[in-house]
Amino acid sequence: MRSDEEARPSPETLLKVCQAEEAQEASGKLKIFLGYAAGVGKTYAMLEAAQQRLRDGRDVVVGYVESHGRSETDLLLQGLESVPKAQIEYLGVILPEMDIDAVLKRKPQIVLVDELAHTNAPGSRHEKRWQDVEELLSTGIDVYTTVNIQHFESLNDIVAQITGVIVRETVPDSLLDRAIEIRLVDIPPEDLLQRLREGKVYIPEKAARATEKFFKPGNLMALRELSLRRAAARVDDQMRAYMESRSIAGPWPVADRLLVCVSGSPFSERLIRTTRRLADEIKAPWHTVYVETPGGGKHVRENRARVWKDLRLAESLGAQISSLTGVSVAQALIDYAVKNNVTKIVVGKPTKSRWREFLRQPLVDQVIRLSGSIDVHVVSITAEGAAPKMARQKRPMPWSGYLKSIALVLAASIVCEPAHQHLAPTNLVMVYLLAVVLAAVRLGRRESMLTAFLSVLAFDFFFVPPRFTFAVSDTQYFITFAGLFMVGVVISTLVSQSRERADSIRERELQTASLYHLSRGLAVSSDLEAILAELVKNVEESLGANVMVLLPDGERLEERAASTGMALSIKELAVADWAFRNHSPAGRGTDTLISAELLYLPLQTSGDVLGVVGVKLRDELEYSSALSRRLLEAFATQVALAIERVQFGKQAEQAQILQARETLERALLNSISHDLRTPLVSITGALGALRDKLNPLLEEAREDLLDAAWEAAGRLNRFVGNLLDMTRLESGALKLKEVPCDVEDLVGCAIAAVEPQLGKRKVELRIDEGLPLVNMDMVLMTQVLVNLLDNALKYSPRENPVELAATLVRERLTLAVSDRGPGVPEGELPHIFDKFYRVPVPEGAGGTGLGLSICKGIVEAHGGTIAAENRSGGGLQVVVTLPVR
Amino acid sequence: MKTDSTKPRVLMVDDEVAILRFLRVALQNEEFSLYEAENGHSALAAAAAVRPDIVLLDLGLPDLDGVEVIRRVREWSQVPIIVLSVRDSEDDKVGALDAGADDYLIKPFSVGELQARMRVALRRSLQPGPEPVVRCEELEIDLPRRRVTLSGAEVQLTPTEYELLRLLAAHAGRVLTHGQIMKQVWGGSYGDQNVLRVTVRNLRQKIEPDPSRPRYLITELGIGYRLKCD
């Protein structure tokens, strides 16, 4: 039993399998023809396969294939439909590129795209061709493509080590994982070299250069092995996935988790790739973090772009990335590792010189000391390949700062000049120290160090005997010099550190405040417009940027809110549209459609993309700034959630309205079936009895039945009339014909109409003298009075009179119909004007439940009011008021 | 009701067979000669051929609208026309009456009501001219002498009030639309009907025992007025 349980795949596993299969269904299938070098015949193999598919009756087109003038390849291209290439002009040169829009429009079953790693000409939609391929796949088109092993991201540095050539065009490994089939195109290196010599790969002069540089037998062998291993690893992956999904027991690795920390140094990239390889080998998830320390504030700002790029690289290689803050990098790393169950931390071997190690314990040692049960992998990183660009790029010399330093020192000397006769030279040092402190506070670290250095020189020159030489008579002054210089350095370091710390804290504070401000604004925004306005306002305030929010309206994106003066061209709209459809950022500062003017971020919730926000930042640097991006992304997420909240609210509201309508419709149906059927019962019953010739009725019974049927028919007619009135009122078909009317006439007509119900009963009238003519639709207002009088008569005892008063109160005609009946329970009063509401009276006087709601409809159409109240002394009074114009 | 030895000829126009059948049964005993038509064109043909004494006309005919039928009949005949229709809006009524219909009954109606209206219409049409003295209970209007008395006492009326009352008395029992009255009394130049309402109110003060519950000068809601004389 237990073993059964264990053998069953876990729900999560099954879900994963399902999702993977679903994703496969929806998107196109990727087939990769993988080679280890140019000339192994990838394109040839791909075209051969395409021809085969064509013969199978599939719809195959060529998206982009470069034959390099090879006749065999050209031959295979025959019979295949080619989508015309886009001609993109760049710096006066026309570059042919795949026309992705044309391919999308053509929508073939299979498209051939050569050279997956190709970098598109600037101005293309995507920076890289593999991004084009991803888009094609996402629309459900199958893609056949070719790529060489050295182009894979994670192998990039190994290839560089083997061949000494740095490959700049890389493809994320995830694409390789995504391919449903990898066809390894392999020929022995000797054959490849032979082909190269025969000029089958490159034109001869190019071939010579290539052989020299890249096509060395050793290189080729290594690359061949690499590609074979990678393809084998991929098969291994599939096997594992298969076994896992079927719960076949195997030697599963324990749940390892790797962590690597990047700093923006040139070695970070190698560290990331190494970690990815390690993680791949042991099938472990991995994290990449960046730790921001207060002291490193300036360093951070200088390396922002690099750090951000490292993190993005890690993410594209499948890492989970995050950015931490802490006083100590090691401590922050360990804290993160413990919280995330990391089992292995990868760190680089220190490259700093011994004496610096002596001053500061290297990160490796700190991590190892703190690591506890976590393994620490130390990876050697050497500076080979491209000469590492130093992370700290030299700032251009701020000459004004140095000039100020010199001025400060001069000023200090001038101050000391008159004082040196009274003071010992060592006390004059204090004045120079003051200059150093001032420089540290006002100017910066370099400037204050210069100030310290100059101070030592000036002090020596001017005040240390013998004066006006650099010679020193008393050797004890060397201690003063050293002291002055050391103190200067320490102070300037401390001050600049604390300033940087303050800067970074302020920046963070600003960020937190902006987010807090936005979320507070969003919390009180109850509708879409308010939310969007809040977003625009906050982005403007916290980033000084211009914003535009686009939301979908049917098929198109519509501008819904924007900073003043923002307008989008068609091209920009297309970029926004791309970001919206592909659920990923696009435009300036991203990898996609980088020539756009704005950066576009999708407003994404867990379920859906609700819109796009376009941002125009103040300067180019901000686009690559991790801080701005993080803040913008946080904004976008918050706003997306707020929009979703509003939409949910609206949906709930609609559901409620729908429910209310359903209840009403049910009431209507009940009422109609009851009110239509009941009279019909009396009528058909009477007619049936009258038709019955076998049992002739007595004269008296006949009369009774006829009376009942007559009455029922009248009731039926009234009900249908009410229903028609109600329908007219509700459909808006009722047009008021307002003309000045005589109130007395109105009352007379109403009383005449209720005459049949009145019989011997009296209506006590009280009509003020000299009422003006009142604008109204007399037919409808008569109906109101008739309904009210009818109710009053129906619900009050026969012996009690009904009263009708018409008076003028505050420029309004007031009509009051009162009875001395039982009244209406207080709680029911507000409902009596509702449709199909009937006061629960014992005898069931048989109203339709529509009379009062019709009255209400008519009176309100006149701009009047209607209200009911219980009278003191019993009975109900309904008061109608109409404006007198 | 018979003023002539021959039975009055009644032309019944309706496209509903059930209604025709009901009318046939309802009017059987009343010594009428009954003629039927089921659409507008056959109604016009029958009106010319039969020369009916009264026409009962449905408005919703398949080929011609009832109002059009009234208009065409009125081009050459003053035969009383009573409209029987399910259309209960005031506009429809006014339209039919203005076109020349004498009366308007909304379906469903009772047989008694129909017979009463027919009697009024027939009496009027078979009379050679209007009666010189119209009596409505206590109210007496002596047209030749331009004298109005209520319970024997003379009532002083302004010329407009008298003109209004005379018009209604000349068509006693019949509804006159606002438009018809305005045209006859004020020459139709007044678009504003306030003057009519005010005149009616003043007239009622003089001739009605209880002006808020008029017995003689009846308001036909949204249509016009009628002098009620049974």
Q: For chain B, give the mean pLDDT.
A: 86
pLDDT for position A356? 56
**Please, is A434 exposed, middle or buried when counting C-beta atoms within 10 Å of its C-beta (0-12, 13-18, 19+)?**
middle
Residue B67 reports pLDDT greater than 70: yes
Question: How many domains in chain B?
Answer: 2
In a domain, B4, yes or no: no
Query: What would the pLDDT profile of A655-693 be if each residue is shown by its tens digit?
Result: 888 887 777 677 677 767 777 887 888 888 888 888 887
The answer on pLDDT for A255 being more than 50 is yes
Q: Does B132 touch chain A (CB under 8 A)?
A: no
Q: At what angle do helices A851-861 and A699-731 cross, to 10 degrees?
A: 30
Q: Same structural domain for residues B79 and B146?
A: no
A752 contacts in chain B (CB < 8 Å): 213-214, 218
Least confident of A10-19, A142-151, A189-198: A10-19
In a domain, B61, yes or no: yes
Q: Is the dihedral of CA A492, A498, A504, A510 positive or negative?
A: negative
A148-151, Cβ contacts within 8 angstroms, sequence gap of 24 or more = A148/A34, A148/A35, A148/A36, A148/A37, A148/A38, A148/A42, A148/A117, A148/A227, A149/A34, A149/A35, A149/A36, A149/A223, A149/A226, A149/A227, A149/A230, A150/A36, A150/A223, A150/A226, A151/A116, A151/A117
**What stretches of A644-798 adopt beta strand conformation (E)?**
739-741, 763-767, 774-776
Residues A356 and A288 in one domain: yes
Q: Residue B139's beta-bridge partner residues?
A: B136, B150
Q: Give buried/exposed letters for A867-879 (b at 16+ CB in 10 A, else e).
A: ebeeeeeebbbbb
Which of A396, A405, A401, A496 has the alpha carbon at shortest distance from A453?
Answer: A405
For the segment A752-778, the average pLDDT, to the nearest whole number, is: 86
Place A5 in a pLDDT band, splitting at 50, 70 and 90: very low
Domain membership flag for residue B210 = yes
Give domain status of residue A623, yes or no. no
Residues B121 and B19 in one domain: yes
Residues B117 and B36 grouped into a single domain: yes
DSSP E strands in A213-343: the ranges are: 258-262, 286-292, 320-325
Amino acid in position B165: L
CA atoms of A200 and A204, how far apart (whole Å): 9
Same domain, A44 and A171: yes
* Inter-chain CB pairs, A–B, below 8 Å: 46
8 Å CB contact of A779 and B211: no
Instruction: Tell me how far apart the alpha carbons of residues A139 and A23 are, in angstroms, rounded to a whole number.
Output: 11
Per-residue pLDDT, averaged over B199-204, amounts to 91
Q: How far apart are CA B26 and CA A439, in angstroms?
A: 120
Where among A328, A348, A379 does a domain terminate? A379
Alpha-carbon gap, residue A205 to B102, rounded angstroms: 113
Residues A91 and A156 in one domain: yes
pLDDT, tens digit, 9 for 90 and up, residues A823-847: 888 888 888 887 766 665 544 445 6
Give SS3 for A110. Answer: strand
Measure CA A808 to chain center: 62
Q: How far apart are CA A389 and CA A306, in angstroms?
A: 11
Question: Would you say residue A652 lies in a domain?
Answer: no
pLDDT, one tens digit per residue, over A310-323 is 887 787 777 887 77
Average pLDDT across chain A, whole number:
80
How does residue A395 score in pLDDT terms, banded at 50, 70 and 90? Answer: very low
Q: Is A88 a residue whose pLDDT tops 70? A: yes
d(C-alpha A742, C-alpha A775), whole Å: 9
| Statement to judge: residues B68 and B165 lie in one domain | no
- Confidence grade of residue A25 (pLDDT, cut at 50, 70, 90): low
Q: Do B219 and A745 touch (CB under 8 A)?
A: yes
Q: Which residues does chain B have within 8 Å of residue A782's beta carbon, measured at their own beta carbons? A: 221
Element spanning A422, H or E: none
Instruction: Report yes or no: A687 at the B interface, CB cutoff 8 Å.
Output: no
Query: Which residues from B are below 8 Å from A741, CB to CB?
Result: 197
pLDDT at residue A14, as a whole number:
62
Task: Specify the pLDDT at position A386.
Answer: 37
The ipTM (two decimal places) reads 0.78
CA angle A535, A536, A541 (to 5 degrees): 100
Q: Report the run of H or E that residue A677 belongs to, with start and end.
A: helix A626-691
Model confidence over A533-592: pLDDT tens digits?
A: 888 888 888 778 888 889 888 888 888 888 888 888 888 888 888 888 888 888 888 877
Are B138 and B84 in a shared domain? Answer: no
Query: Does one domain contain both B142 and B166?
Result: yes
What are A39-65's pLDDT values in tens digits? 888 888 898 888 888 888 888 999 888
Question: Do A293 and A360 sit in the same domain of this protein?
Answer: yes
Is the pLDDT at A815 greater than 90? The verdict is yes
Res A844: pLDDT: 46
- Whether A861 and A790 map to the same domain: the answer is yes
Give the per-residue pLDDT at A178.
Answer: 80
Closest CA of chain A from B53, distance in Å? 31
Residues A25 and A92 in one domain: yes
On whether residue A564 sits in a domain, the answer given is no
- Whether residues A749 and B211 touch (CB distance < 8 A) is answered with no
Q: Is A859:A780 a contact under the CB 8 Å cutoff?
A: no
Among the candidates A217, A245, A273, a domain finishes at A245
Task: Express each pLDDT in B23-33 by its tens digit.
Answer: 888 888 767 88
Examine residue A718 and state whether it is found in any structural domain, yes or no: no
Residue B55 to chain A, least CA–CA distance (Å): 26
Say whether both A42 and A161 belong to one domain. Answer: yes
Q: Of A15-19, A422-426, A543-547, which gets the smallest average pLDDT?
A: A15-19
* A226 and A310 both lie in a single domain: no
Domain-embedded: residue A209:
yes
What average pLDDT score do residues B94-123 get?
88
Residue A123 lies in a domain: yes
Note whether A773 contacts B194, CB cutoff 8 Å.
Answer: yes
Give the percent of chain A with pLDDT over 90: 5
Decide if B1 is inside a domain: no
Say if A497 falls within a structural domain. yes
| A142-148/A110-113 β-pairing | parallel
Residues 725-784 of A with CB under 8 A from B: 737, 739-742, 744-745, 747-749, 751-752, 765, 767, 773, 778-779, 782
The verdict on A428 and A336 lying in the same domain is no
Alpha helix (H) ranges present in A360-397? Answer: 363-370
The answer on A426 and A282 residing in a single domain is: no
Confidence at A24, pLDDT banded by 50, 70, 90: low
Please say if the pLDDT value at position A805 is more than 90: yes
Show which of A501, A531, A559 is a domain's final residue.
Answer: A501
- Mean pLDDT along residues A386-394: 37
Are B91 and B18 within one domain? yes
Substitution target from A745, A762, A771 for chain B, most B beta carbons within 10 A: A745
Residue A303: per-residue pLDDT = 67
Q: Shortest CB distance from B212 goes to which of A739, A744, A778? A: A744
Q: What SS3 state is found at A135?
A: helix
- Chain A residues whose CB is inside 8 A of the B222 CB are 737, 778-779
For residues A766 and A726, the answer to whether their CB atoms sit within 8 Å is no
Q: Are B56 and B114 in the same domain?
A: yes
The rounded distance, in Å, linking the Cα atoms of A41 and A69 is 14
Give the pLDDT score at A389.
37
Neighboring chain A residues of B219 at a CB cutoff of 8 Å: 745, 748-749
B179 in contact with A at a CB cutoff of 8 Å?
Answer: no
Pairwise CA distance, residues B34 & B17, whole Å = 14
Number of domains observed in the structure of chain A: 4
Q: Which of B102, B126, B150 is at the close of a domain? A: B126
The mean-pLDDT minimum among A136-140, A199-203, A461-465, A675-679 falls in A199-203
Q: What is the pLDDT of residue A384?
A: 41
Q: Is residue B105 part of a domain?
A: yes
pLDDT of A842 reads 47
pLDDT value at position A368?
85
Give B-chain residues touching A747 at CB under 8 angstroms. 212
**Residue A650 domain-assigned?**
no
Q: Are residues B200 and B223 in the same domain?
A: yes
Q: Do B212 and A778 touch (CB under 8 A)?
A: no
Do residues A349 and A422 both lie within one domain? no
| Domain-terminating residue out of B71, B91, B126 | B126
Residue B32 in domain: yes
B59 plus B142 within the same structural domain: no
B201 CB within 8 Å of a chain A CB: yes
What's the CATH code of the domain at B214? 1.10.10.10
Q: Indicate if B187 and B107 belong to the same structural domain.
A: no
Range of the domain at A48: 11-245
Domain around B85: 9-126
Phi-psi region of A231 (alpha: psi -120 to 50; beta: other; left: phi over 0): alpha
Beta bridge mates, B39: none
Residue-wise pLDDT for A116-131, tens only, equals 888 888 878 888 898 8
Domain boundary among B109, B126, B143: B126
Quickly state the pLDDT bin for A756 (edges 50, 70, 90): confident
B150 and B114 in a common domain: no
Question: Is residue A274 over pLDDT 70?
Answer: yes
Q: How far is CA A128 from CA A3, A150, A591, in A?
A: 49, 16, 8
Residue B179 counted as domain residue:
yes
Q: How confident is the model at residue A6 (pLDDT cuts 50, 70, 90)?
A: very low
Q: Is residue B3 part of a domain?
A: no
Does one domain contain both A296 and A349? yes
pLDDT higher than threshold 60 for residue B197: yes
Query: Looking at chain B, which residue has its C-alpha nearest residue A755?
Result: B213
Domain CATH for B104:
3.40.50.2300
Instruction: Measure the CA–CA gap between A751 and A790, rounded to whole angstroms.
Output: 10
